[in-house]
Structure 1
Amino acid sequence: MAAGKFGSKGYTSASRGSDFLRSVLQNGSGRYVQQLQRLTFRFCQKSQESKQTRDYVENGLTDFANRNPGVVLYVTPESDVDPKICAEYLNGRTEIVTLNKLTEDEISKKCEDLKDRSGLEIMRRRKNIHTDVPSIQGEWTPFTNFKKYDVKYKPNFAVETKHSWDSFPAPWTGLYRRNELYKLENRQKLNYTEKSQEPLGKWGPILRPKY
């Protein structure tokens, strides 16, 4: 068990390290820079455990190199060693992945995962959204600018019947443009008899859809 300044880490949810969601030097806001710098394959020349790694180096590593020209690849065959990959990133971190008992497809998937990584240590995320410059106004809610909102106020759910042609005050009149206010103030005005005979207004019979 690894023990550090604050005790053991990585075994229980309470002691596991956590961090906010972040990227390396705001990578991706402009031109994306691939963070994987070097991949080193170490495997045995004769052991059965390294057979799948040898097959991947012979068959699939060339395709990976052609797709990722910015990644430097090293192949280091040795004697009596377990197959593994050593990934080095631009931020200085090094990550080692064991390839024992993995197939060629699984090794290829490991290489793709290492290629897409930022080099930052994998930690438990505290929350999905984080900003380095938080707003001094606090978190926005639907009731932020709702002046009549009061937690002690009991809402009235009584149902009131009204005529569909009754005029109601527009609460958002101050947000309309001048030409829109002109249309609202000078729109067609009909009495109840005319409205019952022509519910769609003056142009209703002309604009009525035909089937």
Structure 2
Amino acid sequence: MAWKAQLSRNLKEIRFLFCQTSPASAQTREFLHANYKELKTLNPKLPILIRECRGVQPQLWARYDAGVERCAHLDGLNEAQINNKLEELGKA
């Protein structure tokens, strides 16, 4: 879990996109409910944006230096898999 404290070293911004009501976004909503506070506590200056939009598939966007962005699709992933995706993007 030490990697969570290092997110702000590599990332400039994290964005979660998901639907407020769809079953496809349920795991993403649960992940954020369980982990947002810890992520923000460990990275107080890192913007963690939550974008809710009806009908959108769950996605995780990471922005790096020079405006470079990478996306991970979260549809069908459980909390541990979403955690792994975030770790991969944080270490990229």
What TM-score do you get using the length of structure 1 for normalisation?
0.38
Q: Does the C-alpha gap of structure 1 residues 112 and 65 become closer, same or farther in structure 2, counting only changes over 3 Å?
A: farther
1:70 CA drift (Å): 3.8
Give 2:23's aligned residue: 48
State the superposition RMSD in angstroms.
1.5
**1:58-92 Cα shifts (integer Å, max 9, x gaps):** 11122122222342100011100000011110132
Rg larger in structure: 1
**Higher RCO, 1 vs 2 (CA within 8 Å, ≥6 residues apart):** 2
The code of the aligned residue for 1:37 comes to K
Determine the C-alpha separation between the residues in 2 that align with 1:65 and 1:103: 21
**More helix by percentage:** 2
| Structure 1 unmatched ranges of 5 or more | 1-32, 118-211
Paired residues, number: 85
**1:115-164 Cα shifts (integer Å, max 9, x gaps):** 222xxxxxxxxxxxxxxxxxxxxxxxxxxxxxxxxxxxxxxxxxxxxxxx
The code of the aligned residue for 1:93 comes to V
Give 2:4's aligned residue: none
**Identity score, percent:** 28
Give 2:10's aligned residue: 35
**More strand by percentage:** 2
Give 2:68's aligned residue: 93
| Structure 2 unmatched ranges of 5 or more | 1-7
Determine the C-alpha separation between the residues in 1 that align with 2:9 and 2:43: 9
